[in-house]
Amino acid sequence: MSGERPKALSVTTPRPAPARPRHRVRTRLGLPVPMRDGVKLATDVYLPDAPGPFPVILIRTPYSTNVDYNVQDGVFFAQRGYAVVVQDVRGRFDSEGEWTPFVHEAEDGYDAQEWCGTQPWSTGKVGTSGGSYLALTQWLAAPCRNRHLAAMAPRVGFSNLYQNWVYTGGAFQLGFNLRWGAVQMHTRTNRLQHLWVPPELQYSALFRHLPLITGDESAGRECGFYKDWIRHPDHGPYWERLGNVERSYGEIDVPAYGFGGWYDVFLQGTLNNFVGVRAHGRSERARRGQKVLIGPWIHDLGGRGTQTRTGEVDFGPEALVDLRAEELRWFDQWLLGIDTGVLDEPPVRVFVMGQNRWRTADAWPIPGTAYVEHYFHGEGKANSLFGDGRLDRRPPESEPPDRYVYDPANPVPTLGGSTCCGEDITPIPMGPRDQQPAEWRPDVVVYTGAPLEADLEVTGPIKVVLWAASSAPDTDFTAKLVDVHPSGFAVNVAQGIIRARYRESFERPSLLEPGRVYRYEIDCWSSSNCFGVGHRIRVEISSSNFPQFDRNPNTGHAFGMDADLEPATQTVYHDARHPSHILLPVVA
């Protein structure tokens, strides 16, 4: 079903077009740049064909210096007066050393910045750029505070490897981790699983393989770090050693312009880094130099701001933002000293879906946000969108609970949302999608509000407080916020998951007492959506979102080590003692 295109209600101020190319470009390719331990990393350099020196933009990648988008960046910025250095990270493609994700990026990033800042064609000012893992290389090196590092422009970056990459709410990001870790990145070069392979080799079969610990082997690979991720399902020292930017915000002393999408797997990391460095950065310059832009995009940021359509929704021309030009404004300001006006703008710029307009603010969450409870109600038959589940602001009193059976052999399929990275390489629906096929299922309980009499803008962090019991010693609970259009089109706005054993602590899991009622907080990250007049607010509760997340087998066994599956009976409470609700950030 195609999404309805809401009317755009405002127009943003046009931004100046990016500076036109001024220089021809010359290259020096495959330079062996030594790190502190003598390992040499393959490095390509793009230079303006003009007398230097030039400020430098550094891009560090595990995906090859020669892919089109890295070459395009090299040419684009070199034409506009920058030296651009693109480097294969350790152990990937033409670089020496052993490939182990995350481990060497802080020290190697520092050493690469030092090399960039001391070349004869360099002014000594270095900026960093890149998205996804290329953003990770920036954030991990930032706390080292290289003397030459003057600005960063990380796109879709993480903040905590455990909490907003490999695991989310204690659940394993199966679709992303298996495709990226076990399949693509297990060796020196990319090894994609082509989508045309026979059924037994397709992702639909690989995602269902059990036990999870041998998922790499089911794809014909051997990937040690993928197995290590599964052997460490709890947050702890293993993950802290690999990467946690959040613990180092006080050591970061560089301005950063972060770019993200409401349907990106690294949305929360992008927001966390903006908020964290703005609050705790080492200097006033760093704290005031944080900026963030979030659009209605999945991981590729709408083809870097060139597409109006994400998933099943066309967000109109307001969604078009030249993100490469935004980076140029940022680097011109910090590396060339040109007043581009970028520092005069509010530091937060987010796209309000539903109205299809941009909102700016001085902080995140937006000052003055009101957090409003919307409570679950029903007469014990909220199963599916045909049930009696209701949602309103009135606290519940005496109401029977709702029950459903979660069978991990028949999980609720992922229908859109925030996995990674694109449907051309990960065959999972992404972004905003019609949720009705999932809402027809009896193992999804649905709570829907009355048609709205006035627009309601929800912008900010979203949380579900759920009171529930399970017949299993461990299980999952999922939550989804949905905008129901008058036509019935039900588009996902935000989502979350909690693995029951981590309801109290991600470091010290504890199993359930079957049948006992527990309180769960399900973090649905953040979003921005205007629920229009005549639309309805809906919350879905279930226990699976597969294959974005692994299926909880309901056994309570050690994670990922066996193939046992057990059905579980789940009970959702909404009464005076157990007021299950969603907390919505409402802005005027």
Q: Which residues are catalytic?
A: 132, 264, 299
Burial 279-311 (b: 16+ CB within 10 A, else e): eebbeeebbebbbbbbbbbbbbbbebbeebbbb
Q: In a 3-state reduction of DSSP, which class is residue 84?
A: strand
Q: Are 195 and 183 in contact (CB under 8 A)?
A: no
Torsion of CA 184, 185, 191, 197, to 10 degrees: -20
Between helix 133-141 and helix 105-117 the angle, nearest 10°, is 80
Q: How far is CA 403 from the centre of its chain?
A: 31
- 43: enclosing H helix or E strand: strand 40-48
Query: In whole angstroms, what is the distance from residue 551 CA to residue 556 CA?
Result: 12
376 close to 366: Cβ distance less than 8 angstroms: no
Q: How many CA atoms lie within 13 A of 6 on its CB side?
A: 26
Within 8 A by CB and 6+ apart from 331, the residues are: 55, 57, 77, 82, 127, 129, 151, 153
Record the tokens describing residue 207, joined without a space.
Answer: 């995602």
Nearest to 88 by CA among 126, 9, 31: 31
If you ran DSSP here, which 8-state letter would residue 277 be given? Answer: H
Peptide bond into 211 cis (omega under 30): yes
